[in-house]
Each structure stands twice: as structure tokens, then as C-alpha cells.
Structure 1
Amino acid sequence: MNLEVINADVVILGGGSAGTIAAIKAKEKNPQATVIVLDKGPIETSGAIGRGMDALNIVASPGYSTPEDVVEALTKVTEGVLDQETAYTLGEKSFQVIKDLEDYTQREPGDLFPIDENGNYKVNYLHPVEHPLYLAMDGEDIKRGLAKRVRDLGVKVLDFTPGVKLFTTEGEISGVFAFNIRTGQGYLINTPTAILTAGAVGKFGLPRDGYLSGVYEFPGNTGEGFSLAYHAGAKLINLECFQTNLLMKDYNGPACGYVVIPRGGYGVNALGEKYWTHGYWSGDMFLAVWREFTEGRGPVYLKMDHLPEPTIEGLEKILWGTERTTRGLFHEQRKEDYRRWDSVEQGMEEITLCSGHSMSGIKVNKYTETSVPGLYAAGDCAAVPHQYLTGAFVFGSIAGERAVEYSKTHKAKPIEADLEKITEEIERPLKLEEGLSVQEVEYKIRSRISQYLTPPKSDPLMTKLLWWVDRIKREDIPRIKVEDYHDLIKVTEVKSILDCAEMAAKASLYRTESRWGLGHYRLAYPKRDSEWDNKWAVIQKNENTGEMTTSRETVPEHKWKFPERLEYEYPTFNLNIGKGYVPPKNKDRDPWIEEKVKREGFTIPKRIIPGGEGHE
């Protein structure tokens, strides 16, 4: 691998929503700064909004709602496990996001976002609170607008070049290692600051249809942000809170309840009955869906047939255009029509880790600072709960401005690492003569995640998942063989997925209660415990031993007193199935097999004798 050394002031790992706006804000604040964006693909189409977006799901719009309303909504859906200052910042700066997006896409008020007769941006109800916070958007071109602004400002963009390692010196960020997945060109970037904007852990559990590429999130989001932060020594929180995605069956794209529900649609069970009081993606709603299947009323559907024809036509424009262009073809091939109540079948298809739609990720404050000096995080990998696209823009902007200011007074320290050894380790799968395909290993860990981690959570299953993680790290990862640099990045992805699986299982076993509905429904502790109120479960790498550690931290004292729970309860089970048939007991000794063992001289291999060498 040829290695090019670059000096930079700010390096951004991920060119999606948060990454591109971070680059814009950093370069606008200091035009002389060297700002670099690293991404697996071209930034025009990378990230969760590569095709566009239909709404800002949480906005404080003057005339309708306030930043305090955002705090109330997020305090409630997180059940109090929240740094309220981040929620207030999200609401306070959400209006600037609206103006920025109109600027980047050169759209007038009323064109990109709806406005009312008074000129206010018109928001609708979605969250389980009495305040409208959902702002619709006709945003097919917003990612291209962001990318154009990034390039016009002179930001150095390394397309097809993801960052794969963060360097720290004396506990501070000192560099980034990246390579081009088409050419194999390596880059060692000396920098005092790095911004992680690498998205959610989209590829985590395996969707029930079994497709490796079938995910709700952007397929390139495989947890590198979580993994890179962990190995750099940063704290991660809420990794026990899973995003349990309710997706359109067999399509593995968004079922788009957030498009339909603010316009009058709702979810129903197989009997056509509404199964829950609201459609917001909080844990209580997912728990209600799980109940429908458990009690035999699944599948569930997204009902639209009662809506006026112009509304249905508008939904088709959004869902088949702005969201996923393949969705219309999918419905056409199945002869499905939104004018029938059961056209959009939904299923609990997968679990992921995300802060945009949930609350797991890298611990940050309202300034996007992590626990590692010089390291910032924004977007779906940064643990600002339920921040959605708005949060990616708000905190991406803050991260860009804070990082470029930090770089004025902090210069990159020398990288203390054996670069030759690191390069050899990264390229090792290319040099093996034979081995496992990376797809086989990815399927193995992701299928195990779905089997052993999917809520309701079982302690023995989660413990077994940790056994699998250790085994795959020891036996399978060293045997992966790839043919090119494109597949080489997939090895990094599999390692990231493994790290995230271990963190999620250990955090789940550490938090001895159930909370957030289905998100952390732990069968061994099937109710909330007040001892865990306002507490984070923290995952961090021990810098001395290299071990993964768990700890508990109290969230910052709440400034605003709002309800800290949703209106639901965990079910009580009565699974008594009777006595059952009791067969006669056989003798403990079997002379027949004992005689054959003695006569044939069979010896049990030492490696499988309990306690023997190599025993597993």
C-alpha cells in the first residue's frame, strides 16, 4: 500500500448529512483551514439522505412550538435518560437548519418547506406530546446541494476513501488512517481534530429475509463511528437501547409511517384494528407491535385507504420519489395499492443502533465534544436521542465550528504508532492464499446478532452471543480472504459490527431493568427499576488492559421538569403449560457402549475434554 502523508486542521469521517454540513461550517468559519472529508462513496449520494428526504422530524417552529417543547418531547421518549441541554440546543438551532437548507438548495420559503398564511413554517403532530414538531419537506435535492457547497468552498474531499483508524497521542487526537477502496492508495493524515459522522449501525442484525444488503439505514453505515470512538478511548452510552425497526415486509426500506401518520394514516393489525394510540417510533409503540404478533394478531399494516385521493397521490410522490425510487416498482409487481387497507404489510425486521431514531451512540455534550480531546461526533453515531436529520444538521454545524476553532490553538502531536505493522495488518486479508469470504463472516455474525440479541432480551442468549463474538474474532476474522480493496473495507465493517455487538450485549446485561419499551425489554428484569432512573450505562475501553468496561453515570441535572415516562406497562406472563408426561427412568450405565469403548480402544480427544487444552 502506497502511503501519502497529509497535514490537516479538521478531518471528517463520513460525508453524509452531518459530515457535509460540518465541512461547510468549518470552512466558512476559517477559510484558511485545511478541512478534509473522508467517505466510502461520492458525497453527492452518500449517507442516509443520498436520494433525498421528505421531512425534518423534529423542529421548533416559531408560531407553533418552542425549544422547550423539544426538550419535553425528548425527555418523555427517553424516559428521563437525557442530557436536556442537548435537546434544548437541538430545538434552539433547528430554525437555522431550515434557512441553511433553503440556501444550499436555492429554494424559496414555501417551496422546500410548507408555510402558513402568516409566513410561519407549518409543523404537524407526530411525537407523543401536545406540540407539533414535524416539518414536511420536498427535499429530493438537498444532498446534492450540500455536496456542491462543500466542493465550492475548497474542502478536500477524498471520495471512496473511508477512515479506518484514529490515532491518539497522550490521550489526544493526532491522526487518521484511510485508504481508497478502488486504488488501495493509503493516507496518513496528521490532524489535531477529527469529527466522527459515520452514521448508525445500520448493518447490525440480519433482516428476516436474509439479504445482507437489505437494511433500513444506509447500507454503508456499519458502526465504524462507534468502533473508532471506542478504540480511541471515548465513552459510549445507551448501547442497550435497540432500534427495533418496523419495516415494509420483504422490501427492507422504510415503511414510511412518518410520512403517512402526520397525514392521517395509522397502523392496524390483521383484524383491521388500530393496535396503539400513536405512531411515533418510541419503545412503547414497538412493544405494542410485538404484542400483536405474540397474541396472534399479526401481521400488521400501514393503513391509508381511508385518506382522500389527493393525499394518497401525494404520499405516492413522496414514497416512490423522494424516499426510494424502487418502492413504486415493488408495489407494482405485487399489484399492491394504497387504496386497500392491507397493501403495506409491516414486520419487525431488524435491530440497529442509532441515535437519530433511538438514543445509542458516542457520548457527547451540547458542543459535540466527546471524552477524548480533539474528537467530536455528530449525526446518528452521536448519542443525542431522537435527533433525526435535524440533529445531524444542528450538531454537524456545531462540530465543524468547534473543531476548526480547536485547531487554531492545538497542533497535531507526533503519531506514536508502528505504521508498517498497522498497514500489514490491514492488508493481511489480501495476502492470504486461501480463507473465508468476508460475506460468509458477515452473515455469520449478523445472523447471530438477530438470533441472540433481538428483544425481548434473554440473559443466556446474550451471554451466548458474547461467546460467539469471541469465537468469530479468534477463528474467523484471521481467516478472511479478499481479492481487492473494495472487499477489504468490508473486513473493517465486519470488525465494527463485532465491536458493536459486544458493546450492545454487555450494556444490555449491565442495565438490570427493562426500559424504553421493546428497546430494552429484558426478561430477567421485566420492569423499570428506580435505581436506574436518569442513569447512563457507559461502555469504554480500559486504556491499560484493553478490556471493555461498563459503568454507570448520572445524566446532568434536569433544568426542565417534564414527564419522564410514556404511558405503557410491561406485560405479566403466565406460561404454566401443565405437568407433562413423565417417562420411566433408564439406568445410568450402558454396558453395551462401555464394552465397545473398551474393546475398540476409543480415546476422547484431549481438546474436547472439559477443562482440557483448547476446551471451549
Structure 2
Amino acid sequence: MTVRQMDADIVILGGGSAGTFAAINAKKTNPKARVVVLDKGPIETSGAIGRGMDALNIVSVPGYGTPEDVVEALTKVTEGVLDQDCAYVLGQRSLEIMKDLEEYTNRKPGDLFPLDDKGNYKASYLHPTEKPLYMAMDGEDIKRGLARQVRKLGCTVLDRTAAVKLLTKDGKIAGVFAFNIRSGKHYLIKAPAVIITAGCAGKFGMPRDGYLSGIYEFPGNTGDGYSLAYQAGAELVNMECFQTNLLMKDFNGPACGYVVIPRGGYGVNALGQKYWSHGYWSGDMFLAVWREFVEGRGPVYLKMDHLPEDTVKGLEKILWGTERTVRGQFHKQRDEDYRCWDSVEQGMEEITLCSGHSNSGIWVNKDTETTVPGLFAAGDCASVPHQYLTGAFVFGKIAGQMAANYAASAKREAPEIDAEQLWKETSAALEREDGLPVEQVEIKIRSKISQYMTPPKSDPLFQKMLWWTERIRREDIPQVKVADFHDLIKVTEVQSIVDCAEMAARASLFRTESRWGLSHYRMSHPQRNPEWDGKWVAVKKNMSTGEMELSKKDVPGYKWDYTKRLEYEYPKMQIDIGKGYVHPPNDTNDPWIVEKVVREGYDIPKRMVDAKEEEE
């Protein structure tokens, strides 16, 4: 099969929220730009909001919040480890993208977003601050609206086509290598600018229900963006900050506290008691959930039975429609009703890496530039913390604008790559006569991640995880056998998961403190260390040696002096379980077993033979 070559100005990896906004705004900035969008699925339904979305979780709108309020909230929940310029831009441009969404979906003010009696967009409280920064949204159709705009503007869309390698020349972006996961058509796309909008590492640890493809994230979110950026030499930060997902038990999907809490719901333990002061997805709240289980008050629930009937019906419409259509059936089969306090059981079902709901990602500045010239990143894979869907739109738009301007003046370099050889290496699993099923290797790495890396973090377990990543990379991945192109992409996904696991493990061991509540609760360093205030752990590949390098990187100087911590403390783990019975010692020299070893001709240590001879 011949490699198909294409020339482009901008290639966008991922057609989700950030990717579609990037494509639209790249074309608006330069209508003549050749924009190519790659996605593992059709862009109408791909990405984390393929079904639609019910809210923008962080905005600043007139009468309710300011960009500075967004900076204050994010400074607090990140405990000061952030670029405040990025947080300011997030708040500053949130109103702008709300107007964009109304335009792209042909919705009038008051239809897509709620208005108050003064005609202002009406925000609600969610964050652990005094300002309302949450904006409800009736957004079932927004992803399809964005896809229509992308195609209408003339972007080239390669659905079901995934990038497997970023191509560089002299340290700068030169293109992308990709293939179609149904037909196997593979592409060498030359371009001076690439925007990574590939989402988070959603498939990281193994969910408690054991299913490989959950419904919390887009199933293709396997950390490809993190891995592609790392392999191209870009810097990543906060990979030690885990997203410890509080999901609906057994459903492996969102419990949707962010839908319920702004409307008066809250979390309770098995005794019906509210277990924490707020419901925002920050590390202190996850630490509080972990405590409920450790101290025997789990499981925990999302309580709605006290809400007005009309509100409960409205929540059912959102949760069973915009969020997940199968959720209503799930509750029906279990005879669960939101009018009962314990109808939505929650569990800490998995860990992931994400900036949208947490802190970890490819380092970017406020202009979405990475440390590799020509490479931009936006959305859940980029380093703007707790940006949510708002950030995907805001920084997707900025990335499209910046990449279009960069590509217009960039020198075009031909990538130094043997495309046929690269395809041969990529498709090797198809050519093997026999080998390991790719699902078996995916189960193996993801199970190890959950077993060894789930917080609280243990140093010996993380060291063992590094042993496993090296072994799986060396022994298992080269032996995978697949039968079709769909499974071939899973091989690269497993490689991405292994890369992310190594980055997360090394970064966790490098940061000698605990921070962000449960997200980086390190048992050997169970308190915050002031030496790490305002510091990132940066992870980067040494392009000469191939080794992973870590360093301490200063965040930019703060422009606003806001609170840099949340109101919680780490528990003191002092468990006295008594003495225990000790039996009399046995003889460590066992002549019975030594005689059998000698008789069978095994090569045993000389000291064991000497001990046997002395006894005789």
C-alpha cells in the first residue's frame, strides 16, 4: 500500500471541542490556509462532548464574575502552581466563545444559556470561591454544529484517521504521519504547523468494572497527544497530578455532580451525612471521599431527593439526554430513583491524566505555543489547569489563530523520514503470524497502573511500576499480533499509555512533597514542601540519548496575590496493630531440600553444598 503524500499549512490532531474551534478559527484567520483535521472517529460525534454538553464549568460574565475571579479560583485550586496569564485569558475570552457557540448552533440569547431578569447571562456557584463562575447550557447539538462549521469553511477532514508520529526537521515541526483505522490508507502530511487537541489520557488505569472502553471519556482518549508531544521533544508539566475520578458506581460514567451541585444537590456518605464543604473536583474533595472509605463510612452518594420535583425532572432530562442516553436505562434496571437519597452511588473508579479537570498536560503559554516551534496544543491535553470545556474552546480558538499566522510565514522543511519504512514499523503487528492479543497487553498495563499508581502514592510501588513499563515496552508490545487496522491503532494506543505511565511515575517520584490533596498524596512525603511552591515538574525527552529527563521549572511570576491553597490538611497515618505472635525459629539449613536439588543435578550455590557436607 503506497503512502499518500499531502501538503498542508496546519494539521489538527483531534476533532473534538478544541480541535473544531481550532479549525474554524484557523480558516477565519487565513481563508487560504490548507487545514487538515484528523480524528479517530467522525467529527460530528467525536471527542469528550460527542453527545453534547450541559454546562461551561468556568466562565466570567458581566454581573457575576471577572477574569480576575477566574484567576483567583484557579490559583486556589492549583495551590499556586499555574501560569496566571493563562487563567486570565480563560476568563477574559469566555464570554466571546459563548457568543461563538450561539452563532455556530444558531441559538438565540436565553436559549443555549440562561439569562437573569436583567438580561445578563446567569452564572451559578460551583468553585470553592465566593464568585459564581458556572454557566448552565442546553447543548445537545453543539458538537454537530461545530462539525458543520468545519466542513462549511472547507477544511479537509480525515475521519477515522489517527496520527502516529509527529515529523520534525532541525527541531521544528515538519509534518505528521497517520493512517485510516478502517482502510489502512496511510498519509505523510507535510505541514509547518500542528495543533494537538487529542484530549486527555482517559484510558489510563483500569476502571473498577473491568471494561476497557468506558463512557466517561471518548474511548480513543489514550494519551496519544501527551505521547506524540513527548516523542517530538516537547515539554510536559504536572504529570504527577492525577485526576482521581469520582464516577457513578458500575456505570463507569460521570455521576454529574457538576450538573446537580449548582442546583442544590450535594454528596453524602453512607450515613446520609455531607462529607465535605464543597463538591468541586479538586484534590481536597477527593481526599475527603478517600477518608470516608478508609474510616468505614462509604459508599458515598449524590443526594437529590430534597430538590423540588420540577428540578429533579429537569436533571433527569439533562442526565439521561445531553449527558448519557443509556443512563436512564441503567437506573431503571436497578429500580433507582433520584427521589431517594441513595439512588446515585459514587466510587473512585479510576485515575486519569487531564488538564481540563485537573493539572497535567503539554506545557503551553497563553498563546498555546509549546516548546517545539510550530507545535501548538489546546484542550484537555494542554497544561492550562482546570480549564474544562471553556478552555477547550478558548484555547482551541487561540491555537487556530496562532497556527494560521505562524504557518503563513514559516519556512517549510521536508521531514527527514522514510515513510515506507515508518509504515512497515507501524504495521508490524499486522504481519506477524502469531503473537499476543492487543487487548491482553492493554489490560496488563492499565491493571498495573491501577495496582501500583492509585493514590495515596507509595515509592516502592511506583518504582515497581517503572520496572513494568520497561518490561512491557521491551517484551510485550513487540509481540502483539492484530488482524485488522482497527486493532492496529490500539497498538499505538498501548504505547501511548505506557509512555504516560512512565512520565507520571517519574514525575511523582521527582516531586518530593504532597500537593493537590489526593491527586499527589505521596506517603514518603506526606506534607506540602514550601520549596515546591510555584514549581512545575517538567518532563522532556532527550532527543540525543532517548532518555526521559525531569527538571524543576518555575511558574511565571504571579500578577495577582490570591490564596494559594485549599482548606484541608493531610492525615497522619499512625496505625498501631499490636505485636503479633512469634513462633520459635526454624533451621535455615534444610538438608532435605538440598539433597533433592543435588540429586536432580541443579546448579546450587556452593555454600549450600558445603553446609550439607559439614552435616555429613
Q: Is TM > 0.5 for Structure 1 vs Structure 2?
A: yes
Identity %: 72
Code of the aligned partner of 1:498? V
Aligned to 1:610: none
2: CA distance, partners of 1:580 / 1:412: 72
Encode CA deviations 1:382-413: one digit per residue, 9 max, x unaligned. 01000000000000000000001001111320
Asked whether the 8 Å contact 2:3–2:419 carries over to 1, the reply is: no
Partner of 1:101: 101
Query: Is 1:447 the counterpart of 2:447 in the alignment?
Result: yes
Letter in structure 1 aligned against 2:110:
G
1:161 aligns with 2:161: yes
The CA deviation at 1:604 is 6.2
Unpaired runs of at least 5, structure 1 = 606-616
Alignment of 1:603-614 (within 5 A): 603=603
Q: Does the 8 Å CA contact 2:597/2:604 hold for their aligned counterparts?
A: no
Separation in 1 of the partners of 2:214 and 2:47? 15
Rounded to whole Å, the distance in 2 between the matches of 1:588 and 1:32 is 80
Shift of 1:118: 1.2
Residues 1:312 and 2:290 are matched in the alignment: no
* 2:539 alignment partner AA: I
Write the distance in 1 (CA, Å) between the matches of 2:482 and 2:412.
34
Alpha-carbon distance in 1 for matches of 2:376, 2:525: 35
- In the TM superposition, what are the counterparts of 1:208-607 in structure 2 within 5 Å? 208-603=208-603
In structure 1, the partner of 2:181 is 181
Report if the CA contact (8 A) 1:202-1:215 is conserved.
Answer: no
Deviations for 1:128-150, whole angstroms, at most 9, x for unmatched residues? Answer: 00000000000000000000000
Q: Deviations over 1:196-232 (max 9, x none)?
A: 0000000000001111112522111000000000000
- Could you tell me how far apart the structure 1 residues matched to 2:44 and 2:574 are? 54
Q: CA deviation at 1:190?
A: 0.5
Any conservation in 1 of the 2:244–2:518 contact (CA below 8 Å)?
A: yes
SS at match of 1:393: helix
Runs of 4+ in structure 1 off by over 3 angstroms are none
- Cα distance in 2 for partners of 1:431, 1:7 equals 29
Shift of 1:331: 0.3
Contact 2:173 2:192 in 1 (8 A): yes
Partner of 1:146: 146
Choose 134-143 or 574-583, whichever is displaced more. Answer: 574-583
Check the 8 A contact 2:188/2:419 in 1, yes or no. no
* Greater CA drift, 509-518 or 588-597: 588-597
Letter in 1 for 2:144: R
| CA positional deviation for 1:603 | 3.0
Match of 1:13 in 2: 13
For 2:609, the equivalent position in structure 1 comes to: none
Q: Distance in 2 between matches of 1:462 and 1:418?
A: 37
**SS of 1:446 mapped into structure 2:** helix
Aligned twin of 1:206: 206
What is the TM-score with the length of structure 1 in the denominator? 0.98
What is aligned with 1:83? 83
Superposition RMSD on alpha carbons, in Å? 0.8
Look up the SS of the partner of 2:448 in the other structure: helix
Q: CA deviation at 1:524?
A: 0.4
C-alpha distance 151-511 of structure 1, shift in aligned 2 (>3 A): same
CA distance in 1, matches of 2:601, 2:515: 56
Equivalent position SS for 2:254: coil
Aligned twin of 1:114:
114
TM-score of the superposed pair, with normalisation by structure 2: 0.98
Q: State the secondary structure of the residue aligned to 1:5.
A: strand
Check conservation: 2:514, 2:521, Cα contact below 8 A.
Answer: yes
In 2: Cα distance, 1:555 partner to 1:604 partner: 57
Offset of residue 419 of structure 1: 2.1
- Kindly indicate whether the alpha-carbon contact (under 8 Å) linking 2:3 and 2:420 is maintained by their aligned counterparts in 1: no
Give the letter for the 2:258 counterpart. Y
Give 5+ residue unaligned stretches, structure 2: 606-616
Contact 1:175 1:412 in 2 (8 A): no
CA contact (8 A) 1:223 1:493 kept: yes
**Deviations along 1:388-446, whole A, 9 cap, x unmatched?**
00000000000000001001111320111222221111010000000001100000000
| Structure 1 CA distance for aligned equivalents of residues 507 and 360 of structure 2 | 11
State the one-letter code of the partner of 1:119. G
Deviations 1:526-568 (A, max 9, x none): 0000000000001000111100011001100000000000000
Equivalent position SS for 2:442: helix
Deviation, structure 1 residue 591: 1.0
Determine helix, strand or coil for the equivalent of 1:526: coil
